[in-house]
Amino acid sequence: MPYDDCPPPTRRARPLSVAAALAAVCLTAAGCGGGPETGEAGAASPRPGADAATSAAPTPTGKQPLPKGPLTGRTVVIDPGHNPGNRDHTREINEQVDIGTGRKECDTTGTATNDGYAEARFTLDVSHRLRALLEAEGARVRLTHDADRPFGPCIDERARIGNEAKADAVVSVHADGSAVGNRGFHVILPAGVKGGGADTSKIVKSSADLGARIAGHFARTTGSAPSNYIGGNTGLDTRDDLGGLNLSTVPKVFVECGNMRDPKDAALLTAASWRQKAAQGLADGIAGYLKG
Ligand SMILES: [Zn+2]
């Protein structure tokens, strides 16, 4: 299925368990433990413009001064996976770009729920919510795109945006497109790669820290369990085939928030209230990482 940068990853057990990740965040957070799945009854049905309401949330972007907060002076780049316009630009997004260790498509269309809620809309909505939460803590936030371009950016440009911003942390927001019954979230960490323009040696450790904190907080705020099909229930996976990670020179992870093709996960992903919890988990994880 056509999702980026999100083909079926290698199945490798990760040394760091989600329990360890949870323990890390539970030092300061009560009620950790990845509770039971919290299905969202009355999930918002996919409808055109549904995201517009959420993006109207007060986000002091642009000219308004950021509030002072614990993240003042820190820069976070949020990368909403894919672009709703990609499906109308298949020729352009199929063009190959250099990812250091090889060549890969510029971008892909992303997946969708069976009811047609596109991953590209989901990623933008969660990214808007995440931006608002981080800006409220004083962080300077930049999105790699805001559906303000016909397609893309290409995966190499997505990495470059984070690098040039000298971001303290970058999170690429996605949802997976796997088989029915495959459920839960996972965070993808950069493997150590070196080749061409790719060299992740300086970001492997910091990205692993960022990813573990996000996994722990994401489990706590959403109640979702770590993926039951990738990462051996750790909620963490490591990959060497993602251009967006290979080309990054700043700490970066991908987050697959759930499986859009599973009806139970889809019910969560299409619920605005769940997406807010997801954004909160991401924000808490990023903040935890930045505060050290
Ligand atoms: Zn994706």
151 and 107 in contact (C-beta within 8 Å)? yes
Taking the chain (292 residues) in runs of 10, the rounded mean pLDDT of each run is 42 44 37 28 33 42 80 98 98 97 97 98 98 98 98 98 98 98 98 96 98 98 98 97 98 98 98 98 98 92
For the question of residue 92 being annotated catalytic, the response is: no
CA of 81 to the centre of ligand 1 (A): 5
CA separation for the pair 112, 121 (Å, rounded): 9
CA of 148 to the centre of ligand 1 (A): 18
Q: What are phi and psi of 190, to 5 degrees?
A: -70, 135
CA of 79 to the centre of ligand 1 (A): 11
pLDDT for the residue 224: 98
144 and 158 in contact (C-beta within 8 Å)? yes
243 and 196 in contact (C-beta within 8 Å)? no
Q: Could you say which of 119, 137, 157, 256 is catalytic?
A: 256
CA of 205 to the centre of ligand 1 (A): 23
CA separation for the pair 201, 217 (Å, rounded): 26
Sorted by where each starts, the structural domains of the chain and their CATH numbers stand as 3-51+71-291 (3.40.630.40)
pLDDT for the residue 64: 77
CA of 87 to the centre of ligand 1 (A): 13
CA of 226 to the centre of ligand 1 (A): 17
CA separation for the pair 130, 278 (Å, rounded): 9
Question: Which residues hold their Cβ within 5 A of ligand 1, which is an ion?
Answer: 3-4, 6, 81, 110, 174
CA of 275 to the centre of ligand 1 (A): 16
pLDDT for the residue 256: 98
pLDDT for the residue 20: 47
CA separation for the pair 214, 125 (Å, rounded): 18
pLDDT for the residue 61: 52
187 and 215 in contact (C-beta within 8 Å)? yes
CA separation for the pair 253, 174 (Å, rounded): 11
CA separation for the pair 171, 244 (Å, rounded): 10
CA of 6 to the centre of ligand 1 (A): 5
33 and 209 in contact (C-beta within 8 Å)? no
Question: From residue 226, how far is each of 8, 12, 19, 187 by CA, in Å?
Answer: 16, 14, 10, 9
CA of 113 to the centre of ligand 1 (A): 12
3-state secondary structure of 124: helix
pLDDT for the residue 3: 39
